[in-house]
Amino acid sequence: MHCVWCGGAFTVDPGPGRPARYCRRSHRQRAYEARREAARRGLRPDEVVLNRHTWERLRDALYRLEAAAQDVALDLGSGRPTKADYVEALGYLAAAVRDLQEVAVEPTAMSG
Ligand SMILES: [Zn+2]
């Protein structure tokens, strides 16, 4: 099962009652608040509101990842890359992925 709020995987306790949709109580609460804000703003189901800081961090991290992927493709695509070249390239890509993972994407408003 994946949490409706954060997308993280979690195990569901088999038992009576509705199956859990959130990995933790705080995520259920945040999703509730985001739905309430979406209703207040009259958002359509396909619309999500992010604050500007989150949006800019996400956009910049995606840009860095794309640039890193292009650099790695160029570096490894020319000549005969060595094992050290691959190790360096993977390290570069991993750093760009970590940047992206550090962006906490939590909508201010979202239906669902
Ligand atoms: Zn969650």
Rounded distance from Cα 31 to ligand 1 centre (Å): 9
Please tell me the number of Cα atoms within 13 Å of 50 on its side-chain side.
12
Helix (H) or strand (E) holding 61: helix 52-77
Instruction: Give the tens place of pLDDT for each residue, 29-67.
Output: 999 999 999 999 999 999 999 999 999 999 999 999 999
Name the burial class of residue 5, with classes exposed (0-12), middle (13-18) and buried (19+) by CB atoms within 10 angstroms of its CB: buried
Q: What is the pLDDT of residue 100?
A: 93
Q: Backbone phi, then psi, for 18, in 5-degree steps?
A: -65, 140
Distance 74 CA to ligand 1 centre (A): 38
| pTM given for the model | 0.75
CA 4 to centroid of ligand 1, rounded, Å: 7
